[in-house]
Structure 1
Amino acid sequence: MGGRRTPAQVLLLSAVGVVCLSTLVSTMVVLNTTSGPDSPENSQPSPSSGYQETCQAANLRDASHRVSAAVDTLAVELSCKGRKNGSLSEDKSMELEQNLRKIVDLTLKVFFDLSANESGFNVLDIFGILDSLSLGNHSDPGFLRLWFSLKMAPLLPHVDESFLISLSRQNFTCSAFKELVGAMNEELETSERMKRKLIYTSFIKAYLSRKNLPDPGCTKQVNQSEEWIQRFVGNFFVYASLEDLKEINPNFKAEDVFGKLSPDQKAELILDPNSGALRNETIVREVFKSLNMSHDDKQLRQFFLAFTRINMQKNITLITNPAVRGTILNLTLTALAPGFKDFEPEDFTLWFQVNLATVTASLHPGSLVVIPSNISCTSFAAILTGLRKPLESLPLHRSHDVRSAIASFKETFPRCTVAESLMCKQTLVDEDLICAAVNRSQLDQTLSIGNSSEAMCNVTVIAHACSSATHLTPNNLVKS
């Protein structure tokens, strides 16, 4: 217990001493008002009386709250002397701020150590994090920076959605809000992803989306998208959807911050009909070039998770622009090629039946040369199922390359292909294409009038196939 004490320890001990003295006086007053000098309790000390009676959760919470309130008072004094009348130098103000922060950190540690077996409390309420906001001016960035440093930063691991929504409803100015976002950027640099996403959704997005502010979205003083993101969204930008950002700031352009876009946002950019990317092969190439800059396919996989999700949400089954579709398919297969040797059947299923489903219509015989020749027949079957999917929607005249790719793929893996003589052959046809030149109504009328063997034999097989075939009966077929 000996040795010199640091200023922070002295401050903490002083604060705790004041709180303990206040609690002791309160306890003595209660005891004196409930027990006289001649009462049995005073004449016969009980083993269970005295110190043990103060071991209550309420005492711990009350003491912690008082220390926190004392720090609030000292912080207001620091703000006054350090910034308003300038009686403290900047270095001295910073030193005192750091000491006050240590008091809060140490008090939190003591509180959690002593309340390890307690439950049913809200540490944010006990330390009065929102109450302390009322002690200063919301429009003062300096006050908010100090408040964040002393109150919110130490408790940041414990904030929840309810608290962040309440914080977003405070009447901050845009400059004060910018100060908070910047402070959160620094404090949460290495924080877990879910906490950062929660702060974006429940605080940053919630605040910027408010319509009852003097400057909704904080857009009046900023012209460039990149500057707006840097000031008011910061590193939380990666958790925003491009749609959200455009709703908040109608002048926002994703192209202006392309280098900051996450893989999810790049997928959103490509599939946004207003971006023009679905008609611009150059934009698509830039996206995939940026995705493939890493040494693994992590970003590519993340991109396709979002790409597939958005396609399903928008009910997109085919990328209609052939150049864009072919670019996505070819660049993806090229990027995946080095890893195909380690793919399991479920990996081929994911890529050829799910991720690439909207672009496999651009397959041609040369597309699949990147597939290793030693894959299992289960993997072969997974790929083949994906290759056949476009045939369900492509017109016959546009499916030639896909059919050629399938034929070439089968020839490459004869060990996995069942002989056609042992299979029931199924040929997919496009009825509209075949019957386009046949006048069905005139044909049906002709056959209904002259329902004779001669009339039926003068009609081609294709014409019969395109008719309603109501004239064909077992009787006249035998006669024919």
Structure 2
Amino acid sequence: MACKLTSSMNYSREIWNLFFQKFAAPLDEALDAYSNMTLNISLPDPYVLDAIGEVKVNNFSNAQLADSVFITKWFQTRLRPFLSSVSVDFLSCLSSKNFSCQTYQVVVEAFSRQDQLMEEEQKWSIFTYFIYPFLSRDDLSDPGCVSSASGSGDWLAKNLGKFSIYATLEDLGILNENFSSFVSLDLLTPSQAAELTLSSGALNSTSQINLVFYRLEKGDAFKNVDEFFTALIDQEVGKIIPAVRDVMMNLTFKIISIKFPQFETSDWIDCLSVSGISSVFSKMTASRREEITKVLVKHLKNLAAQLNTPVCRKDIHSDADWLRINLGLFSTTADYSDLKDLNISGVVVLDSLSAQQKAELILDPSSGALENETLVKEVLTGILSSSGKEQLYVFFETFVNVTEEEQIYFIENAAVRDTILNVTLTALAPKFNVFPPSQFELWFQENLFVVLASFRPSWLLVIPRKPQL
């Protein structure tokens, strides 16, 4: 059998049949010898195994098919060199044999040991044409070979071996109605884990989704998460409760952040999809927004050189476009200093800034705002027109913090000082009659302290003599 045939042509099944029939008597010994000579090879010609199947395997008695020692000798020794080139015909025929569950598992193990020599299609064929048909037979003494296993994980390992990855979660449930997916989670593929996530109610359970991600973190976590979400997207995903969504987002970023330094621009578009994350911005907690913003900003800085190339700026015509594409709504939770580091002009993107960022802009010496009363008025009136007085409080909280940090005790430009005081007091005046003393203290002793030099006696007319208690 070890002789070299002339040319590299494949011989037909009929020729191999005639060959093995002629030498049927010494074939067992010849196969033993050939197996010992060939440790890890892949034969492209499936007809060799097909012919051996017809001459030998098809003539195994029921007693031999149920004999573990006999089947082990044949499939893990004599047929081993040929298993990597197994054909669909051989597999289909094999699935109808009267193996016991124990001898069937010997055959699965034999195929599993050769999986690295097989093409992907062959591996899929072993599950499709041998494993699934055999386990789903209703004439087995132990249907699905369930009772011979000590649990779901043991059942999966013994009966599907390396080929369990080609089964869907539905397949596993059909073959073993007692199959417990969470018990066997470590043995499931990411795609199967995605099916489990949708069918088990894990989208409503933080404990279950944590178990799913614990599985995804094993092995190549980045690849696992990619496969998991690809499979998830292909299905109809129902409502995800906020707590589970937060867990999924947090654990996903934990896994993929390890690869961030290696990301190309296209990877960021495919993986992070800022526009996609922005779509759920309003449903995130403040802490989650800040965490995501820090990650995005950090890696935008690392990718600055690439992002400024003509290719990456193809559809970007302004700083506002750049913010929208690269940070989305997360631009509002970025530190003002980070926007500056990214070469974003706060003045140009004024409408995209948050109240806190606008306060820092005004007090930033490089912006020139403290010498530009028109810009200051635009900032304050913009806050009042779009967000009302609530954001005015947010603006001044940051305004006070920055003036204290920078030790600014007085706004020197009189026009700017007048603008800040007049616009603010005009907005607050309608509420003065219901202000408690604490509010007057907040505004006149803290928020407006650095502009009080512009206070005029006329303002006293609108301030109640007796504030509300």
| Same fold flag (TM > 0.5) | yes
- Report the equivalent of 1:273: 199
Amino acid in structure 2 at the alignment position of 1:288: F
- Report the equivalent of 1:134: 58
Distance in 2 between the 1:384 and 1:420 partners?
10
- Report the equivalent of 1:375: 303
Distance 1:214 1:131, change over 3 A: farther
Which of 51, 70, 80 matches 1:153? Answer: 80
Which of 33, 39, 44 matches 1:99? Answer: 33
Distance in 1 between the 2:36 and 2:146 partners?
37
Distance in 2 between the 1:352 and 1:341 partners?
14
SS of the residue corresponding to residue 177 of structure 2 reads coil
Distance in 2 between the 1:278 and 1:130 partners?
51
Distance 1:97 1:129, change over 3 A: closer
1:339 and 2:259 equivalent?
yes
- Report the equivalent of 1:205: 132
Aligned-residue CA RMSD (Å): 4.5
Amino acid in structure 2 at the alignment position of 1:279: N
* Structure 1: gaps spanning 5 or more residues: 1-7, 17-53, 79-95, 113-120, 389-402, 430-480
Amino acid in structure 2 at the alignment position of 1:186: R
1:284 and 2:204 equivalent?
no
Contact kept in structure 1, 2:105 and 2:158, CA below 8 Å: yes
Amino acid in structure 2 at the alignment position of 1:187: Q
Distance 1:231 1:305, change over 3 A: closer
Contact kept in structure 2, 1:308 and 1:355, CA below 8 Å: no
1:320 and 2:240 equivalent?
yes
Aligned residues: 325
Contact kept in structure 2, 1:182 and 1:231, CA below 8 Å: yes
* Structure 2: gaps spanning 5 or more residues: 353-381, 387-469
Cα offset, 1:328, TM superposition: 1.2
Cα offset, 1:293, TM superposition: 5.1
Amino acid in structure 1 at the alignment position of 2:207: T
SS of the residue corresponding to residue 233 of structure 1 reads helix
Distance in 2 between the 1:327 and 1:212 partners?
46
Contact kept in structure 2, 1:245 and 1:252, CA below 8 Å: yes
Contact kept in structure 2, 1:263 and 1:300, CA below 8 Å: no
Amino acid in structure 2 at the alignment position of 1:369: K
Q: 1:265-318, CA deviations, whole angstroms, 9 ceiling, x for partnerless residues?
A: 33333x2332x3222223333443443455xxx43233333323333322x2x7
Distance 1:167 1:417, change over 3 A: farther
- Report the equivalent of 1:68: 20
Amino acid in structure 2 at the alignment position of 1:206: P
- Report the equivalent of 1:353: 273
Cα offset, 1:225, TM superposition: 0.8
Amino acid in structure 2 at the alignment position of 1:226: G
Which of 221, 244, 247 matches 1:299? Answer: 221
Distance in 1 between the 2:169 and 2:262 partners?
35
Amino acid in structure 1 at the alignment position of 2:160: V
Say which is worse superposed, 303-312 or 344-353, in terms of deviation: 303-312
Distance 1:145 1:277, change over 3 A: same
Which of 230, 244, 260 matches 1:308? Answer: 230
Distance 1:130 1:63, change over 3 A: closer
Distance 1:154 1:181, change over 3 A: same
Which of 224, 232, 237 matches 2:151? Answer: 224
Q: 1:361-405, CA deviations, whole angstroms, 9 ceiling, x for partnerless residues?
A: 5352332212323434449979955876xxxxxxxxxxxxxx5x3
- Report the equivalent of 1:413: 339
Distance in 2 between the 1:243 and 1:416 partners?
52
Distance in 1 between the 2:194 and 2:92 partners?
29
Contact kept in structure 2, 1:144 and 1:176, CA below 8 Å: yes
Distance 1:170 1:202, change over 3 A: same
Cα offset, 1:321, TM superposition: 1.1
Amino acid in structure 2 at the alignment position of 1:142: V
Which of 96, 99, 105 matches 1:169? Answer: 96
Amino acid in structure 2 at the alignment position of 1:260: L
Amino acid in structure 2 at the alignment position of 1:134: N
Distance in 1 between the 2:128 and 2:274 partners?
29
Distance 1:319 1:326, change over 3 A: farther
Contact kept in structure 1, 2:13 and 2:48, CA below 8 Å: no
TM score, norm. by length of structure 1:
0.55
Contact kept in structure 2, 1:69 and 1:128, CA below 8 Å: no
TM score, norm. by length of structure 2:
0.56
- Report the equivalent of 1:43: none
Distance in 2 between the 1:303 and 1:208 partners?
31
Contact kept in structure 2, 1:353 and 1:386, CA below 8 Å: no
SS of the residue corresponding to residue 149 of structure 2 reads coil
Distance in 1 between the 2:181 and 2:145 partners?
18
- Report the equivalent of 1:364: 289
The sequence identity of aligned pairs, in percent, is 23
- Report the equivalent of 2:367: none
Cα offset, 1:181, TM superposition: 0.9
SS of the residue corresponding to residue 147 of structure 2 reads coil
Distance 1:101 1:255, change over 3 A: same
The 5 A counterparts of 1:397-408 are: 403=329, 405-408=330-333
Contact kept in structure 2, 1:71 and 1:100, CA below 8 Å: no
Contact kept in structure 2, 1:277 and 1:284, CA below 8 Å: yes
Q: 1:187-223, CA deviations, whole angstroms, 9 ceiling, x for partnerless residues?
A: 3356555433332233212322334444331223435
Distance in 2 between the 1:126 and 1:301 partners?
37
SS of the residue corresponding to residue 53 of structure 2 reads coil
- Report the equivalent of 1:47: none
Amino acid in structure 2 at the alignment position of 1:160: S
Contact kept in structure 2, 1:264 and 1:303, CA below 8 Å: no
Distance in 1 between the 2:47 and 2:275 partners?
45
Distance 1:287 1:319, change over 3 A: same
Distance 1:374 1:149, change over 3 A: closer
Amino acid in structure 2 at the alignment position of 1:284: I
Distance in 2 between the 1:127 and 1:326 partners?
58
The 5 A counterparts of 1:41-60 are: none
Contact kept in structure 2, 1:164 and 1:199, CA below 8 Å: yes
Distance in 1 between the 2:148 and 2:76 partners?
27
Cα offset, 1:136, TM superposition: 1.4
Distance in 1 between the 2:49 and 2:148 partners?
36
Distance 1:422 1:368, change over 3 A: closer
Contact kept in structure 2, 1:178 and 1:231, CA below 8 Å: yes
1:330 and 2:258 equivalent?
no
Cα offset, 1:174, TM superposition: 1.9
- Report the equivalent of 1:462: none
Distance in 2 between the 1:305 and 1:74 partners?
50
- Report the equivalent of 1:187: 114
Amino acid in structure 1 at the alignment position of 2:264: E
Distance in 2 between the 1:240 and 1:349 partners?
31
